[in-house]
Structure 1
Amino acid sequence: MTGVPASAAGGSAKANGAAASSRGTAARGASKGKGAAAGSTGSGASGAQDGVKSARGGKIAAAAVDQASVWNIANLLTMLRLLLVPGFVALMLADGGYDPAWRSLAWAAFAIAMITDLFDGHLARTYNLVTDFGKIADPIADKAIMGAALICLSALGDLPWWVTIVILGRELGITLLRFWVIRYGVIPASRGGKLKTLTQGVAVGMYVLALTGWLATLRFWVMAAAVVLTVVTGLDYVRQAIVLRRQGMAERKAALEETET
């Protein structure tokens, strides 16, 4: 039998020991790696929870700001216009409705309402004061003061009833039209619509005052221009609503066909 040198046996033992030591080091490294990965996962989960809490806190803070912003200057001006409506009617009909002094005070109330209408919208858009209350109350206040003035003028015999019916019918029809197409989009206010509102305000204001002579003749033509703009812009809104609805229906149909395929 051939003997194995002692030096070779010793070297083999050393090699086996080194291999065992290497395996132990690798095992400890893997264990540390798993621990580090677990720590990283725990840290990520904690960060995600902190992010959710922060998002919830942000939503709560935003809701608080929205609630507080209801009492901003733009909404206060809108509320002022609403309060001016009964005051305007009382002044307009005081002493039979034909006293020049009372009519002048009624005109002042109407003018303040029209001016605040210009300012509240500008302030809301410029300083980001737009609220749900303002979106609802602003158009109501506009139509309330204009409707009250037209009805009072027609009731007193200063303005034909058909003019009042055309103007108020147009405003009500456009409001219903907006709700009809709201699922497909919003009809933006046009320059013609803004010019119509301005012309109506000037014409009604001139009728509220007890004017005579050439000023009485002038107010007739201003009101005629307001009626024409009322009808023309109303028809344009109808056209826009039909186009918007057709486009919306076509887009929905295309979306349904894509989902089916």
Structure 2
Amino acid sequence: MNSINEGTTTPAPATEKPSNWNLPNALTTLRIASVPFYGWALLVDGGDSATWRTVAWAIFVAAMITDKVDGDIARKRNLVTNFGKIADPIADKAITGMAFVGLAIIMNTWWMWTITIVVLVREWAVTLLRLSVLKAVVIAAAQSGKWKTMAQALALGFLTLPLLDDNLADWLEVPGEVTYVVALGFLAIAFGLTIWSGYEFFRDVWKQRHAIRKKAAAAS
């Protein structure tokens, strides 16, 4: 057994910065690259192609799975990088944003366009604020934001499928209609949670920035 003399100090080993060339970042980049392919598959024949809608669904599900996987790998293997911190939320918002816009084009209803615009403004405003202004302010992910993400993924995933296609087999008509109604329910929940979690985020930002200013004023 090696002994260390009392009073001596052993320098801590330097923590090596992880390379950007790692598996989590590769999965994140793949998600970003898949966005135009998802959008194209979703909108083939104006969204009337059951085959390509199913392909789009497969791409969307793969993106949601890799979103979970790359984060778990990065934390477990200490592969969190600045590139990943920036690219990961961009990848998430890009695929869900494409889904919202594509589905709004297909459904072409005032309420779907309203939901799409409100969600996109909220999502990108929060993302840009996190990446730019809030370097000195850490806002933990709220539980409502996590539920919002899950509800969005379920709603967009189901709605990507050709649930109401006239060419579906007879035995799929009723399950398709039921799933469509369930998907709209998840969409309504996601919309409500999007607004609420956005309010929570900006409220917490204001509180932290106010606390920082107050502390700075007290120290001066």
**TM-score, normalization: structure 2?**
0.82
Amino acid at match of 1:118: K
Q: Is the contact between residue 64 and residue 153 of structure 2 (CA under 8 Å) also seen in structure 1?
A: yes
Larger radius of gyration: 1
For this pair of structures, how many residues does the alignment match? 197
In structure 1, list runs of 5 or more residues that go unmatched. Answer: 1-53, 257-261
List, as ranges, runs of 4+ consecutive aligned residues in structure 1 with deviation greater than 4 Å.
none
Within the candidate set 192, 200, 203, 2:152 is matched to 200
Question: Mind listing any 5+ residue stretches in structure 2 that lack a counterpart?
Answer: 1-10, 164-175
8 A contact 1:177–1:238 mirrored in 2: no
Deviation at 1:95, TM superposition (A): 2.6
Residues in 2 aligned to 1:181 and 1:245: alpha-carbon distance in whole angstroms: 11
- Give, in whole Å, the separation in 2 of the partners of 1:183 and 1:230: 23
TM-score (norm 1): 0.70
Task: Give the alignment partner of residue 141 of structure 2, picking from 189, 200, 207.
Answer: 189
CA distance in 1, matches of 2:135, 2:40: 40
| Cα 1:117/1:183, change in 2 over 3 Å | closer
Q: SS at 2:26's partner residue?
A: helix
| Seq. identity, % | 42
Task: Show the 5 A alignment for 1:1-261.
Answer: 62=16, 66=18, 69-157=19-107, 160-178=112-130, 182-211=134-163, 212-256=176-220
Whole-Å separation in 2 of the counterparts to 1:223 and 1:87 = 23
Q: Which has the higher contact order (CA 8 A, sep 6+)?
A: 2
The structure whose residues are more often helix, as a share, is 1
Would you say the 8 A contact 1:181–1:241 is kept in 2?
no
Q: Deviations over 1:219-245 (max 9, x none)?
A: 111111111111111111111011101
Q: Indicate if the aligned counterparts of 1:158 and 1:207 stay in contact, CA closer than 8 A.
A: no
